[in-house]
Amino acid sequence: MRQWFILFNKEMLEMARNFKWVWVPIAFILIGVMDPITTYYMPQILDSVGGLPEGTVIEMPTPPAPDILMMSIGQYNMFGVLIIVLITMGLIAGERKSGVAGIILVKPVSFSSYITAKWAGGLLLVWVSYFVGLLASWYYVGILFKWIPFGDFIQAFFTYGIWLSFVLTVTIFFNAFFRSPGVVGFASIATVIVLSLVSGSLSHLLEWSPAQIAGYTGEFLSTHSFPEAMLPTTLLAVGGIVFLLIGAILVFRKKELAA
């Protein structure tokens, strides 16, 4: 356990040194806040862009507050996922390429603590960034439109966080497979996109797919109750995370011993 904390602290130090602790939360805040603000200022934006004939009146109904928070989550589904893959794709692959992994692993460090420490470090960074980002979005929705109950926000936050953790774990898993960060990033993005597309188009067949979590979160925000499939979906996602992590450790052990 002590060894694990040393590796974890090393992760934290590295993330502080390469400014991940600065730019990732800021990026999440900016992504989250963008939608409430542009929705709020849409009439002014249309005005200043112009091109509309004089006297045109556009009646724009204000969308309900939960929908706007959901828009922010939709942005995380795209840019948030992209950022997560970008910051995680070099986590192990980059160290193997540069030889740092070799330096660490000649010491009696277990493969499982090496991988799980990296996973936990990335997870902490993602959750903290995602929390401040969604909190900022919630706050702006509150002051510009209508306050969403904080309890709803927290529940939506945790549910959607499971999907982001799943994406992170997929990237860690591919890290164990490939040596080049670019290939890791590509494989992870491709997996997430395929999963989302397939679950989106066959949503009645794949009710339990983790990619449905974003949709279920939106359903919860507007109706205050989770669909029935939420529980099995959550269990499947958490099970998938554990499975991918164990798979990553096994693959990594095999590859490193062979190399």
Query: Contact positions toward other proteins, by CB under 8 A?
Result: 18-20, 22-23, 26-27, 29-30, 33, 37, 40-41, 44, 47-48, 83, 86-87, 90, 94, 98, 140, 143-144
Q: Are 141 and 68 in contact (CB under 8 A)?
A: yes
The Cα 30–Cα 137 span in angstroms is 9
Q: What's phi and psi for 59, nearest 5 deg?
A: -85, 115
Q: Are 128 and 118 in contact (CB under 8 A)?
A: no
Q: State the first-to-last Cα distance of the chain, in angstroms, to the nearest integer.
A: 27
For the range 98-102, what are the long-range contacts, defined as Cβ-Cβ under 8 Å and sequence gap of 24 or more? 101/256
Closer residue to other proteins (CB): 94 or 215: 94
Residue 1, classed as helix, strand or coil, is: coil
Burial class (CB in 10 A: 0-12, 13-18, 19+), 163: buried
Closer residue to other proteins (CB): 22 or 246: 22
CB of 79 to other proteins, least distance (A): 10
Q: Are 33 and 140 in contact (CB under 8 A)?
A: yes
CB of 40 to other proteins, least distance (A): 8
CB of 238 to other proteins, least distance (A): 29
Closer residue to other proteins (CB): 130 or 216: 130
The Cα 227–Cα 219 span in angstroms is 8
CB of 143 to other proteins, least distance (A): 7
Q: Are 140 and 79 in contact (CB under 8 A)?
A: no
Closer residue to other proteins (CB): 100 or 259: 100
Closer residue to other proteins (CB): 55 or 99: 99
Closer residue to other proteins (CB): 19 or 158: 19
CB of 26 to other proteins, least distance (A): 5
> Residue 42: which of 21, 23, 63, 24 has the closest Cα?
63
Closer residue to other proteins (CB): 143 or 197: 143
CB of 22 to other proteins, least distance (A): 5
CB of 127 to other proteins, least distance (A): 19
Tokens of 220: 């919860």
